[in-house]
């Protein structure tokens, strides 16, 4: 604290009074500031008080606000986890209780009334599981996906249909990556599981292929490349290029004194050569900071590789805009005949005659009403179809053509293993005789033993190549032209074509040639031929806990111990899935607790630093007030003394 000095030199009274008044004003301002610090507890209440400290304080306040928000996020997320764990706990208990019911239901001595009572208990478990899956917390579906206004599950006919999605909301609870605020219905309840996951459709590169779709979705980084024929460099700015066509157009615009470049696309790459075909040195390189030429595999530093420069393995991923005529390595596919989707007893025919791209195909399938969801699989190479109706048997087959096969989504083809038949129970082979018997239309008998046969395709070949089936009227086996299954055809003759089951074998029923519960099936004559059209031998199930419960209830009512035993294993798998997901949610909760503890400690530390910057030292403030008051009193006394009247004032 400083005071204006009292001048001892000879000065005028007005100047002397001005100096004293200035000192008094400074004391009053300082006193007011000290009183403000005393009342607010703050040394810095505005930037002008201490600009440097105020700048540091603003940074600290931002840190405190962000950390406190992270802590609030953690609290809300913990609540989501708790609600999710409760829903999963309910499902886990249901599955455990149902497991006990199935042990009793697997007995053969139960009456129909007892089986119905047990099935009714499982039906109630299904309703409770659906209610648990539809749990909502803070207006958010816990298991039905993010931003869903409707229930995740709904009863429709004999099925439970998933109406949600697989997206999960995320939040920030630390300075790292976002974390999920829950789990999806697919990973917890097994909802919307894939029924078909097709192979690669081998999309080829074409001019409109996005650069971001190359390299299996890793994409190509835009940049600046330069090309040379051994002379001057020509720079190509491709930072705004978005498609392969943009790159091709830029390269074709290069001219080396009359020598242009010829750029062509292959199914999986790019070929660059001189248009005159005379060869020469062609150098392609990236400018510093660019990797575009390297990403496109056309980088040819110093022209060491002779022309043409051939880039391969650019591997474009499938996208909604990929044209159908660019699939199968550029050969294209024809899906104009459409496909059939069978859900339970209902058949849905999907018209694909106007489809031009993968997106058109997916939209047509998703709008079919068959309760399926088609999408591009995570690898970006094929189509994945999910079944949304728990309890339904699904089948995706042909509609008179080969569209389902070409799209890779035919659910029952030649490659199906015999072990997959009978809903995964496999084929029971005969130990006493043939497994499958076909009566030809001329009365001849074809007997087949399937020991060592692995696939449905091998069964079809065995029928066609049977030594007793090489003369007319020959029986021809093939896959159904409509839907799925095996079709047997033969020229008409003295009797109908028929299929009989073998002794103690269920191969004929498992292959769909003879209906379940029967021992023989007859063909139907039409136009000089006799055809026996089998049913789908490999229907697909959506899977998941609710699907298992629905099928268990049906198996208990039918009194089918073999199916009940198989579903028991599936029930155990579903229970294990629930336990694993609950365990993961528990680990997430522990991580949240640790992150929140760190956040709380961080807030305390930041607030301590902020206090050091802006809080007032009360003891110092009291001392300053006392000193200022003393100074102010001295100034007032000086003013009074200097203003005292003398004899000269009266002369």
Q: What is the per-residue pLDDT across 333-353, written as a single tens digit (0 to 9) for each?
A: 999 999 999 999 999 999 999
Whether 7 shows a pLDDT value over 60: the answer reads no
Q: Which has the closest alpha carbon to 437: 493, 483, 475?
A: 475
How far apart (Å, rounded) are the C-alpha atoms in residues 629 and 232? Answer: 83
Separation of alpha carbons 200 and 380, rounded Å: 8
pTM of the model: 0.84
Q: Is residue 468 pLDDT above 80, yes or no? A: yes
Highest average pLDDT, of 111-115, 175-179, 287-291, comes from: 287-291
Average pLDDT over residues 73-98: 91
Is the pLDDT at 646 greater than 80? The verdict is no
Whole-angstrom distance, CA of residue 84 vs CA of residue 584: 11
Question: pLDDT tens digits for 511-556?
Answer: 999 999 899 999 999 989 999 999 999 999 999 999 999 999 999 9
Structure confidence by residue, pLDDT tens digits, 420-466: 999 888 999 998 889 999 999 999 999 999 999 999 999 999 999 99
Contact 537, 510 (CB under 8 A): yes
CA distance 394 to 343: 5
User: Across 4-13, 129-138, 568-577, 642-651, which has the greatest mean pLDDT?
Assistant: 568-577
Q: What is the pLDDT of residues 384-426, one digit of tens each?
A: 999 999 999 999 999 999 999 999 999 999 999 999 999 888 9
Backbone angles phi, psi at 311, to 5 degrees: -100, 130
Higher pLDDT, 21 or 209: 209
* pLDDT confidence bin for 93, thresholds 50/70/90: very high
What residues does each domain of the chain span?
13-41+616-650, 63-193+545-600, 211-311, 324-407, 421-533
Range 270-276 contact pairs with CB under 8 angstroms and sequence separation of 24 or more: 270/205, 270/244, 270/296, 270/297, 270/298, 270/310, 270/311, 270/314, 271/308, 271/309, 271/310, 271/311, 272/298, 272/307, 272/308, 272/309, 272/311, 273/307, 273/308, 273/309, 274/307
Q: How distant, in Å, are the alpha carbons of 156, 409, 451, 524 from that of 195?
A: 19, 9, 29, 32
User: What is the pLDDT confidence band of residue 293, given thresholds at 50, 70 and 90?
Assistant: very high
**63-193+545-600 CATH:** 1.20.1330.10
The pLDDT of residue 568 is above 70: yes
R_g of the chain, CA atoms, integer Å: 41
């Amino acid at each position: 604290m400083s005071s204006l000095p009292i001048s001892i030199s000879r000065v005028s009274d007005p100047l002397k009074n001005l100096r004293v008044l200035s000192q008094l004003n400074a004391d009053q301002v300082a006193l007011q500031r000290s009183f403000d610090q005393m009342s607010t507890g703050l040394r810095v209440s505005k930037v002008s008080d201490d600009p440097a400290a105020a700048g540091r304080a603003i940074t600290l306040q931002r840190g405190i606000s962000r950390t406190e928000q992270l802590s609030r996020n953690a609290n809300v997320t913990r609540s989501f986890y708790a609600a999710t764990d409760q829903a999963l706990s309910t499902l886990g208990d249901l599955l455990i209780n149902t497991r006990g019911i199935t042990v009793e239901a697997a007995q053969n001595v139960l009456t129909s009334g007892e089986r119905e009572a047990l099935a009714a208990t499982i039906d109630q478990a299904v309703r409770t599981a659906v209610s648990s899956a539809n749990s909502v917390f803070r207006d958010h579906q816990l298991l039905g996906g993010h931003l869903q206004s409707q229930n995740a599950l709904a009863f429709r006919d004999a099925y439970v249909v998933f109406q949600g999605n697989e997206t999960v909301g995320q939040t920030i609870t630390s300075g790292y990556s976002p974390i999920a605020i829950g789990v999806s219905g697919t990973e917890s309840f097994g909802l919307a599981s894939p029924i078909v996951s097709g192979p690669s459709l081998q999309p080829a590169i074409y001019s409109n292929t996005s650069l971001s779709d190359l390299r299996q979705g890793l994409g190509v980084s835009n940049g600046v490349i330069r090309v040379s024929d051994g002379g001057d460099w020509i720079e190509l700015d491709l930072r705004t290029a978005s498609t392969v066509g943009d790159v091709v157009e830029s390269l074709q615009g290069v001219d080396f004194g009359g020598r242009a470049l010829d750029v062509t696309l292959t199914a999986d790459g790019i070929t660059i050569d001189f248009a005159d075909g005379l060869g020469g040195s062609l150098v392609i390189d990236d400018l510093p900071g660019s990797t575009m030429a390297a990403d496109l595999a056309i980088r040819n530093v110093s022209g060491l590789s002779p022309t043409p420069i051939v880039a391969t393995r650019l591997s474009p991923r499938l996208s909604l805009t990929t044209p159908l005529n660019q699939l199968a390595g550029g050969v294209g596919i024809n899906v104009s005949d459409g496909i059939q989707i069978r859900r339970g007893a209902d058949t849905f025919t999907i018209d694909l005659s106007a489809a031009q791209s993968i997106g058109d195909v997916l939209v047509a399938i998703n709008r079919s009403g068959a309760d399926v969801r088609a999408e591009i699989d995570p690898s970006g190479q094929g189509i994945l179809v999910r079944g949304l109706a728990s309890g339904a048997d699904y089948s995706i087959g042909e509609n008179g053509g080969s569209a389902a096969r070409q799209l890779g989504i035919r659910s029952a083809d030649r490659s199906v293993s015999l072990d997959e038949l009978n809903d995964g129970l496999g084929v029971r082979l005969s130990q006493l005789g043939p497994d499958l018997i076909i009566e030809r239309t001329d009365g001849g008998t074809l007997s087949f033993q399937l020991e060592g046969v692995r696939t449905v395709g091998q069964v079809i070949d065995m029928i066609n190549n049977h030594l007793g089936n090489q003369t007319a009227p020959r029986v021809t086996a093939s896959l159904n032209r409509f839907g799925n299954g095996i079709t047997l055809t033969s020229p008409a003759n003295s009797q109908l074509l028929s299929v009989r089951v073998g002794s103690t074998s269920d191969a004929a029923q498992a292959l769909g040639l003879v209906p379940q519960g029967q021992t023989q099936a007859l063909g139907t004559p039409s136009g000089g031929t006799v055809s026996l059209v089998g049913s789908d031998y490999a229907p697909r199930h959506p899977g998941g806990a609710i699907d298992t419960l629905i099928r268990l209830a049906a198996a208990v009512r039918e009194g089918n111990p073999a199916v009940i035993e198989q579903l028991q294993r599936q029930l155990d798998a579903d229970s294990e899935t629930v336990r694993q997901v609950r365990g993961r949610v528990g680990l997430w909760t522990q991580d949240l607790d640790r992150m929140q503890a760190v956040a709380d400690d961080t807030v305390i530390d930041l607030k301590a630093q902020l206090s050091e910057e802006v809080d007032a030292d009360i003891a110092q403030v009291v001392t300053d007030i006392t000193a200022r008051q003393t100074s102010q009193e001295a100034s007032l006394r000086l003013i009074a003394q200097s203003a005292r009247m003398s004899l000269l004032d009266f002369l």
